[in-house]
Amino acid sequence: MSLAVTRGNTGAGARRPGRQVIIDAAVRCFYEHGYDGSSVRDITQEAGVTAAALYHYYTSKQDLLMEIITRFMANSIERTEEALRRAGPDPVARLFAAAQSHVLWNASDVASSFIVNSEIRSLDDANRERHIAQRDTLQRMFDECVQDGCDQGVFAAPWPREASRAVVVMCTFVARWYRPSGPLSPDEIAWRYGHMALSLVGASRGPQFEAPTYGGV
């Protein structure tokens, strides 16, 4: 089944050119015209493939949307896990790293990020349920991180859950305004958002990391 996408987009076939060409075309169509505004014909034309080629990999347009959303979310989760793992046990370092990573991932693919955050309405019930489970998994990693910091007295967020959600939202929606032609590199933006996330949760100290090479504050 084409929906069996593993975390980090490493599933068998996920990188086969034919399949990726179709996914890329679907992302462009959904990003520009929305799910209901894009037909299978629009997607095959954009991809330069036949309908038969598309149906070789995907059973439906719904199937394509779900793969785009599932891949993106699986990547979000995997990258956040990796950032937390590398950061070690300190809640300050963990939240800083998770926020940075989340900004970088969303800025790296603004089109898919947009689709994930605007086309949940277009998922059928079973797919929406799967998506919500992924979204909850991601949010829970941030929630635990903020709660740990509060429990250890290094964060002073009166409402840890709301603060954690606000952090995820502000990092996710960097994709709405970030453009490569802007004045700041993704690394610089991510570094600043890491600090702003700490500020939002009332961190009592900074992440004790070096500024990126652009020169710092």
Contacts with its own copies by CB under 8 A lie at 31-38, 114, 117-118, 121, 157-159, 162-163, 165-166, 169-170, 173, 176-177, 189, 192-193, 195-196, 199-202, 217
Nearer to its own copies, 97 or 200 (CB): 200
- Pick the closer one to its own copies by CB: 14 or 170: 170
Contact 176, 109 (CB under 8 A): no
Report the residue number, 5 or 150, with the smaller CB distance to its own copies. Answer: 150
Nearest distance from residue 126's CB to its own copies, in Å?
A: 19
Quick one: 22 or 115, whose CB is closer to its own copies?
A: 115
| Least distance from its own copies to the Cβ atom of residue 19, Å | 25
CB distance 202 to 155 below 8 Å: yes
The answer to whether 111 touches 27, Cβ cutoff 8 Å, is yes
Residue 33 or 56: which CB sits closer to its own copies? Answer: 33
Minimum gap (Å) between residue 168 Cβ and its own copies: 10
Q: Give the integer Cα–Cα distance in Å for 34 and 30.
A: 4
Indicate the residue among 7 and 192 with the shorter CB distance to its own copies: 192
Please classify residue 169 by burial: count the beta carbons closer than 10 Å to its beta carbon, then call 0-12 exposed, 13-18 middle and 19+ buried: exposed
Least distance CB 39 / its own copies (angstroms): 10
Provide the minimum distance between the beta carbon of 6 and its own copies in the complex, in angstroms, as a whole number.
28
With beta carbons less than 8 A apart as the criterion, state whether 73 and 106 touch: no
Q: What's the min distance (Å) between Cβ of 122 and its own copies? A: 8
